[in-house]
Structure 1
């Protein structure tokens, strides 16, 4: 798959780093915790950890971090250890992150207000181990310092000297490929959750596809073949029934679209075909008819890259696609 993103995409891209700290409620076990019992030497085995508070008390922080990661995965592309996001979407993304951060800080204060009680409850749940837990507890101030939610948003300006900016250029070149790989991963998950083994689906099955569409549309400047894929999805959405189940030829078409999205190389190839003049509607028609049309000047391959099965009343055979 040949996707090399030009450094000029930085004109429309901002970088964001998510920095979330969550206290683990764990302390390292020490030989003293075992009351002088014989232990294997350090080069043979290492001691694990003990929980000094109920991990369920901290579950909310992991949930909120996951919400933030999901937001950035839906709207951005992995870049420089964080994410690259569209500059014109930055305000909206920061607004959503702010809501999540406020929920995180509120949960933090609620937990700290009952921290001492939570530790006592945990000790009472483990009679006979009071000294093991009690001797390892930490102060509420320490826990406060280990719970934090912040982010850094910045604009990248490449150095004028090509030699100096070489590393950044390499990272930028990979953006297109990274984007298509992320789309493929999301599409594979969508296939398993919504389409695999189905002979009809509800309109809820379109929701993850619309999320993929929104991600691609927002990052359309990253790679020239993104826009044709956005158009392909638009055309597919417009052909869906307004209400009721999606089945028959419409379902075959959707399954074919998801299968295209699951294969980055094939997706890029069909984006290129649309750029070269093939209509998105022709590709969708090929999915329903049982074969993809071959664009002009391209000889049919002995091994077709994508051959969905024609519509059948009750069963849909993937012909090895899915």
Structure 2
């Protein structure tokens, strides 16, 4: 059964490797940089590095790399040192990467035009250390060769021989758990930023949940328990009024949903319950309960995950056509 699962998943997923190089603007310190100063032997301590350029002038490149990584995290799941992305959205992903790449190359050209000026400004900011910095400068062409933004996309095919397919099979079999773990991290950030301690929120608080929904929907082929969770989220969105603040029972429901998303094991259990015949509507209503307690407590303090976690009896998961 696992072999069929592997083949089915690989029919829908592409492996993407992001390769971004950013010049560090650092050179290794050497004993010669300190003249006659007595230094400890290398076996005892090693020298660090020196900056030959203001790191602030290079910050834009780190920002652009982070944008690319965040975009890939929204669409894909970590896989084989890069990302596994749905083949059906590959064009959309490449378009966004191309846009970021153009900004990266434009920033690179601008930096290289100003390179000599940037280095001289850095030297002026550190009087008394001109020789230390100046002796380590490199040419603009060298810097150009150390900066790049590219990616590679692969269509994977499972090898036929059992002796060589084990590693890939293990990685594919971990994709479901990896996906639920990633959702948990995003949901925890969402809770802390948007829902913790709140008695009302705006519709902006739905944005990270919609991103989670989009990611799960795109990767639903990875695990049969994923699609039921996307249904549960959509039902939650449909229950929220289209205008005004979200508060009261609606906010309590969303807080319960986010609390569920933060717990990978619980999330998988709920997905399985829907596969086993429970409706997403019933599980959504059962996520939270509002006990009769002091009205002075905040909505978030009154959240109780109802009847969870309950031990789940080990059973064969229905493939629902995925294998």
Instruction: State whether structure 2 residue 290 is matched by structure 1 residue 287.
Output: no
Q: Distance in 2 between matches of 1:202 and 1:4?
A: 46
Is the 8 Å Cα contact of residues 202 and 246 (structure 2) preserved in structure 1? yes
CA distance in 2, matches of 1:157, 1:47: 47
Counterpart CA distance in 1 for 2:29 and 2:246 is 56
Q: Compute the displacement of 1:320 (Å).
A: 7.4
Question: Following the alignment from structure 1 to structure 2, what is the Cα–Cα distance between the partners of residues 80 and 276?
Answer: 32
1:232 CA drift (Å): 0.2
Separation (CA, whole Å) in 1 of partners of 2:42 and 2:166: 44
Q: Could you tell me how far apart the structure 2 residues matched to 1:226 and 1:74 are?
A: 15
SS in 2 for 1:72: helix
1:226 aligns with 2:226: yes
User: Residue 313 and residue 245 in structure 1: after superposition, are their counterparts in 2 closer, same or farther (change >3 A)?
Assistant: farther
Q: Find the aligned partners of 2:287 and 2:292 in 1 and give their Cα distance.
A: 8
The 5 Å alignment of 1:203-214 reads: 203-214=203-214
Q: Distance in 1 between matches of 2:262 and 2:3?
A: 20
Match in the other structure for 1:18: 18
Alpha-carbon distance in 1 for matches of 2:256, 2:303: 11
Alignment of 1:100-115 (within 5 A): 100-115=100-115
TM-score normalised according to structure 2 size: 0.90
Q: Distance in 2 between matches of 1:275 and 1:95?
A: 36
SS at match of 1:109: helix
Alpha-carbon distance, 1:26 to partner: 0.5
CA distance in 2 between counterparts of 1:289 and 1:122 reads: 60
- Between the two proteins, the alignment pairs up a number of residues equal to 301
How far apart, CA to CA, are the structure 1 residues paired with 2:246 and 2:156?
A: 44
Counterpart Cα distance in 1 of 2:26 and 2:130? 15
Kept in 1, the 8 Å contact 2:101–2:149? The answer is: yes
Query: Are 1:29 and 2:47 matched, yes or no?
Result: no
TM-score by length of 1: 0.90
Measure how far apart 1:284 and its partner are. Answer: 1.6
- Give deviations 1:234-267, integer Å, cap 9, x for gaps: 0000001111111111111101100110000000
Per the TM alignment, residue 287 of structure 1 is displaced from its structure 2 partner at its CA by: 2.6
Establish whether residue 171 from structure 1 lines up as the match of residue 171 from structure 2: yes
Q: 1:79 to 1:115 in 2, by over 3 A?
A: same
Q: Distance in 2 between matches of 1:224 and 1:311?
A: 39
Contact 2:52-2:119 at 8 Å conserved across structures: yes
* Mapped partners of 2:294, 2:282: distance in 1: 21
Q: Which runs of 5+ in 2 are unaligned?
A: 306-323
Offset at 1:121? 0.6
SS in 1 for 2:284: helix
- Name the CA distance, whole Å, in 2 between partners of 1:83 and 1:136: 37
SS at match of 1:16: strand
Aligned to 1:300: none
Task: Give, in angstroms, the shift of residue 35 of structure 1.
Answer: 1.5
Q: Which residue of 1 aligns with 2:186?
A: 186
- Cα separation, 2, equivalents of 1:13 and 1:151: 16
Q: Return the alpha-carbon distance in structure 2 between the equivalents of residues 117 and 287 of structure 1.
A: 60
Aligned to 2:75: 75
8 Å CA contact 2:18, 2:150 repeated in 1: yes
Helix, strand or coil at the partner of 1:42: coil
Runs of 4+ more than 6 Å apart: none
In structure 1, distance between residues paired with 2:143 and 2:257: 48
* C-alpha spacing 1:74/1:64, structure 2 compared with 1 (3 Å): same
Paired with 1:212 and 1:4, the residues of 2 have a C-alpha distance of: 28
State the secondary structure of the residue aligned to 2:287: helix
Cα RMSD (Å) of the superposition?
1.8
Name the SS for the 1:164 alignment partner: helix
SS at match of 1:271: helix
Corresponding position of 2:156: 156
SS at match of 1:165: helix
State how far apart, in whole Å, the 2-side matches of 1:312 and 1:250 are. 20
